[in-house]
Amino acid sequence: MRIVGGRGYGPWPMPYAEPLTELTELIDRVEADPRDADARAEAEGRLAQLRGVWRELDSDEQRRLLPTAQRLSKSLEIGTHPPLRFFSGEPTAERLLAWLGYHGFREGQREIVEAALAGRDALVVMPTGAGKSLCYQMAGLARDTLTIIVSPLIALIADQQQRLRRDGHPAFMVSGRQTEAEVAAALQAVADGTARIVFAAPERFASRAFAAAVARRQVGLFVVDEAHCISEWGHDFRPDYLRLNRAIAQTGRPPVMALTATATPQVEREIVQRLGLSDPAAYRGGFDRPNISFDVVPLAGKGAVERKRRLLVGGLTDSANRPAIVYCGTRRETEAVAELLTSEGIAALPYHAGLDAERRTRAQQAFMAGEADVIAATNAFGMGIDKADVRSVWHWSIPTSVEAYYQEAGRAGRDGLPARAVLLSLRADLGRLITFNTARAIDPAAIAARHRALLRRSGSEQPVLVDSGGDDRERLELAILERCGAIELEPAGGGRLAVTVAPELDTGQAARILRTAQRRAWDAYRAVERFATADRCLRRQILDHFGDPRPAAPSGRCCSVCDPVEWPELRATPPARQNAPGTQVELSGEFAERLKAWRMERAEGKPAYTVCTNAVLACVIETRPQSAVELGAISGIGPAFLERHADSLLALLADPAA
Ligand SMILES: [Zn+2]
């Protein structure tokens, strides 16, 4: 047995088998009674000792000890909060604001709190960072009823809850990340009336203990954060959210406040409907980010990828654009981009969900601490990252939706100082997005097959248990079946869903819902395509997308459409071949004339190029496509063209006279 000296507590025997048990007992003692001074003193001593010898341990031992060290340190935090203080008296928005230590309302906050205090349902659409959480915190602390706050973003709500507790506010949290003792303490506080606010993840409503604690209270407000999750179809589809209206009913149908940062007007309607909001007070915040300038740099043709690299390196060599985040489409790209920047002498690290937790944490910390100037990341990066001085956000590939773009680009310039968002818009990326959408298309037969399979299984087990983290296609199929009323989904714990299957599937309705899903996917694509081709003010496009009618009000430069800049890396190369309206490509011959006549007819009085350019027609003549897929392969033909004109054009091409 090796002996390693520690600080103050005498030698620490190695390896740690016995002391580990001893430590666990010590942790239990501290957690059982946070005021036990002897236990605390011993725990603090042991922790100091462990920290003292840490560097002398080999990595295996460190790994083995880490969870215990973390528990030890966490157990010491319990009970160290200041005594609780409870708001009393007539709750007004002003008094609550002061109670929370703030001096002025931000836009919309007063109206939202007043609606909640008056017992109204509310729908709040407010960009991230505009002060959403303060609205429900104010309302939640106002009275001695219980406010339940549901959010899937555990790390974010944990931060909020801890901040509130540090200030003595009676806010608690129940989540799978807590120790048993913490959960028990929170449930106790909910049940005995101490808690005014309880934060919970949506799956918590599957827990009997939680329901039992909540049932002891009058629920005064039910808050659904990230409410857009309820209308998602694909990757962000949260089956747990579908049952929230049941949870709302079970808590006595209190007023509901639904909040989101990303809802388009369509999603907004769906939130109201699915949560059963009744005549909600609606607040839609301003989506403009005046201090961010938006650039889209279109890149196409030969050498485009190389130009993209030079643009990024050139941009990030300028220290005014750092710290920076570069959002990439794939994990591999994050590694390649980080490598490229590092080779150019810029301190950059990759970040994606495929890295182990330790590397991810290290990358994040290095970025937060300013040791790494640039982080090249997938969309896994950013949730809960609060770095105010990010000077630029780059998109190395075109994101899948304008919502995603806005969320990510919006991480620039949180400090209000000038910042920029740059989208390196490689034309080929649009093709990738089309392929992505096409691959996700589901035909009604697959829905019927999924229903039959579930029905078969439900003969032997009812409800059927499925993995809620299944692949995108499975999640989408479940979402559609749920919308048809052919199944009911209930969170079943352990990352699984309990599926109750109805015997019949209305195939007509399934087909209609599928069409809606499809249409929404293409709507999202078209919005991104319009943005990425930068044909009008980018800021205006974003505001319109979120239904924000206010005039764009940049505090500096607006965007690459309103205030074009010369990108030095682009100047050296010949101008990209653009399919400019109409003129560049000469079309001749009888067939070309017929195509032009066809185009004129399809344009319905608008300029011919609104249907397609001469370059597209030339390509059609050359390749003679026979299917919509072949047509779609032509540069310049997008889904909008395919939907409107494909059948008609293909018929023309199939005409023997052609
Ligand atoms: Zn503009």
Q: Are residues 457 and 362 in the same domain?
A: no
Q: Are residues 484 and 378 in the same domain?
A: no
Centroid of ligand 1 to alpha carbon of 299 (angstroms)? 19
Is residue 623 within 8 Å of residue 630, measured between CB atoms? yes
Centroid of ligand 1 to alpha carbon of 294 (angstroms)? 8
Centroid of ligand 1 to alpha carbon of 548 (angstroms)? 15
Centroid of ligand 1 to alpha carbon of 423 (angstroms)? 14
Centroid of ligand 1 to alpha carbon of 18 (angstroms)? 66
pLDDT in tens, 33-81: 777 778 888 888 888 777 777 777 777 777 777 777 777 777 777 656 7
Last residue of a domain, one of 284, 304, 327: 284
DSSP class of residue 140 equals H
pLDDT in tens, 117-141: 999 999 999 887 778 999 999 999 9
Q: Where are the alpha helices (DSSP H) in 385-506?
A: 402-409, 427-440, 444-460, 472-484
Query: By residue range, what is the domain housing residue 491?
Result: 439-516
Centroid of ligand 1 to alpha carbon of 424 (angstroms)? 17
Residue 570 lies in a domain: no
What is the C-alpha radius of gyration for the chain, rounded to an integer number of angstroms?
29
DSSP class of residue 152 equals S
Centroid of ligand 1 to alpha carbon of 419 (angstroms)? 15
Centroid of ligand 1 to alpha carbon of 420 (angstroms)? 13
Centroid of ligand 1 to alpha carbon of 41 (angstroms)? 61
Q: Are residues 429 and 443 in the same domain?
A: no
CB-count exposure of residue 631 (10 Å: 0-12, 13-18, 19+): buried
Centroid of ligand 1 to alpha carbon of 538 (angstroms)? 5
**CATH code of 623's domain:** 1.10.150
pLDDT in tens, 12-37: 444 454 567 778 888 888 877 777 77
Residue 87 lies in a domain: no
Last residue of a domain, one of 478, 495, 516: 516
For the chain, what is the mean pLDDT?
Answer: 85
Is residue 403 within 8 Å of residue 526, measured between CB atoms? no
Q: Are residues 505 and 640 in the same domain?
A: no
Centroid of ligand 1 to alpha carbon of 559 (angstroms)? 4
Question: What's 414-443 look like in SS3?
Answer: CCCCCEEEEEEEEHHHHHHHHHHHHHHCCC
Q: Are residues 206 and 238 in the same domain?
A: yes
Residue 16 lies in a domain: yes
Q: Are residues 146 and 158 in the same domain?
A: yes
Is residue 295 within 8 Å of residue 136, measured between CB atoms? no
Q: Per-residue pLDDT for 578 more than 80?
A: no
**CATH code of 164's domain:** 3.40.50.300
Q: Are residues 310 and 241 in the same domain?
A: no
Gap between the Cα atoms of 496 and 464, Å rounded: 10
Residues facing residue 327 across a β-bridge: 377, 395
Residue 468 lies in a domain: yes
pLDDT in tens, 340-353: 999 999 999 999 98
Residue 554 lies in a domain: no
Residue 550 lies in a domain: no
Residue 556 lies in a domain: no
Is residue 177 within 8 Å of residue 158, measured between CB atoms? yes
Q: Are residues 280 and 221 in the same domain?
A: yes
Q: Are residues 510 and 527 in the same domain?
A: no
Q: Are residues 175 and 264 in the same domain?
A: yes
- How many folded domains does the chain comprise? 5
Residue 207 lies in a domain: yes
Centroid of ligand 1 to alpha carbon of 542 (angstroms)? 10
Centroid of ligand 1 to alpha carbon of 536 (angstroms)? 7
User: What confidence score (pLDDT) does residue 572 get?
Assistant: 43
The values of phi and psi at residue 476, to 5°, are -65, -45
Q: Are residues 453 and 425 in the same domain?
A: no
The predicted model gives 558-569 an average pLDDT of 84
Is residue 398 within 8 Å of residue 350, measured between CB atoms? no
Q: Are residues 280 and 296 in the same domain?
A: no
**CATH code of 448's domain:** 1.10.10
Centroid of ligand 1 to alpha carbon of 557 (angstroms)? 8
State which of 469-473, 588-592, 647-651 shows the largest mean pLDDT.
Answer: 647-651
Centroid of ligand 1 to alpha carbon of 562 (angstroms)? 4
Q: Per-residue pLDDT for 2 more than 70?
A: no
The predicted model gives 497-516 an average pLDDT of 88
pLDDT in tens, 337-389: 999 999 999 999 999 988 988 898 899 889 988 899 999 999 878 765 678 89
Helix (H, G, I), strand (E, B), or coil: what is residue 166?
helix
Centroid of ligand 1 to alpha carbon of 540 (angstroms)? 6
User: What confidence score (pLDDT) does residue 383 get?
Assistant: 63
Centroid of ligand 1 to alpha carbon of 99 (angstroms)? 40
Helix (H, G, I), strand (E, B), or coil: what is residue 501?
strand
Q: Per-residue pLDDT for 579 more than 60?
A: no
Report the share of the chain in percent with pLDDT over 70: 90
User: What confidence score (pLDDT) does residue 229 get?
Assistant: 86
pLDDT in tens, 461-502: 778 888 866 677 787 888 888 888 899 877 676 777 888 999
Centroid of ligand 1 to alpha carbon of 191 (angstroms)? 53
pLDDT in tens, 271-320: 999 899 999 999 988 899 999 999 999 998 888 999 999 999 999 999 99
User: What confidence score (pLDDT) does residue 377 get?
Assistant: 94
Centroid of ligand 1 to alpha carbon of 392 (angstroms)? 17
The better pLDDT of the pair 436, 108 is held by 108
User: What confidence score (pLDDT) does residue 172 get?
Assistant: 96
